[in-house]
Amino acid sequence: MGTDTRNRILAAAARLFHERGFEATGVATILREVGVNSGSLYHFFPSKEALLVGVLERHLESLHSTILEPAAGATDDPIERVFALLGLYRRGLVITDFTRGCLIGNLALEVGDGRPHVRALIEASFSVWAEGVRSWLDAAGDRLPADLDRGALSRFVLTVMEGAVMQARAAGSLEPFDASVAQLRSYMELLAAQARLGRGEAPAMPAGRETVEPSDEAPPPGRSAWRSW
């Protein structure tokens, strides 16, 4: 069935683009991986760039089901969902031995200007991702300061994730990732303390940053295979 071939091409292309990058992945490699000939690929996609667009559209469509919903399913606490989301990327780094990171982040830095259609899809993925985080921040209600710009903070979470993944890959270690996430947690705890102060509650600041080490290995439930983000 044609649709099946198309999907297999998209899946292989997504994995290879993720792992090696767009330029470094040859069409021949994709064809070999899928076990199909060039005519088939060019029947569905008029060019390699169109294939990239297909990969990004597919990623955008599945962002909720493969990333945001799993993170939301990990806990009911809206703020902890943010860190569950970061935990997904952390696990991805471990499972892939730091070879992939974030597909969208990789492509964002690889495809510069030119290819405006591609860049628009990358930005769209970023927006959907951040909007998901924003919905959790909104759900946190008065646990965060009333005057906090929740949109900006959700974008900041994305900023931290991408920067942390980048450093972890460069170092081949979780240490920079965990350190960055710990800083983000510290920030959000300070915001929560500020919110309590604003509500006239106990003025206690959170205790010192005791660097909560994430439970290494044996990640929570849902040990699903590493997917495409």
Query: Site residues (CB under 7 A) for DNA?
Result: 1-6, 25-29, 36-44, 46-49
Amino acid at 222: G
CA 49 to chain CA mean position, Å: 22
The least distance separating its own copies from the CB of residue 127, rounded to whole angstroms, comes to 9
| Comparison of 71 and 121: residue with beta carbon closer to its own copies | 121
Amino acid at 206: P
Q: Is residue 168 helix, strand or coil?
A: helix
Using an 8 Å Cβ cutoff, are 150 and 78 in contact?
A: no
| Long-range pairs, 90-94, Cβ under 8 A, ≥24 | 90/174, 90/177, 90/178, 90/181, 90/214, 91/219, 91/226, 92/226, 92/229, 93/165, 93/168, 93/169, 93/174, 93/177, 94/174
Cα 101–Cα 226–Cα 46 angle in degrees, nearest 5: 75
Residue 141: how many CB atoms within 10 A of its CB?
Answer: 10
| Comparison of 175 and 222: residue with beta carbon closer to its own copies | 175
Count of residues interacting with its own copies (CB under 8 A): 60
Based on the shown chain and the rule CB under 8 A, indicate whether residue 44 belongs to the binding site for its own copies: no
The least distance separating its own copies from the CB of residue 185, rounded to whole angstroms, comes to 11
Out of 52, 93, 122, 140, point to the residue binding its own copies (CB under 8 A): 122
The least distance separating DNA from the CB of residue 48, rounded to whole angstroms, comes to 3
19 binds, among DNA, its own copies, none (CB under 5 to 8 A by kind): its own copies
**Which among 27-35, 65-73, 152-160, 216-224 is the span making contact with its own copies, rule CB under 8 A?**
152-160
- 19 contacts: CB under 8 Å, gap ≥ 6: 96, 99, 100
**Which among 40-48, 62-70, 136-144, 166-174 is the span making contact with its own copies, rule CB under 8 A?**
166-174
Residues near its own copies, by CB under 8 A: 19-21, 23-24, 97-101, 105-106, 108-110, 112-113, 119, 122-123, 126, 145, 147-149, 151-153, 155-156, 158-164, 166-167, 169-172, 176, 179-180, 182-184, 186-187, 190-191, 194, 197, 203, 205, 208-209, 211
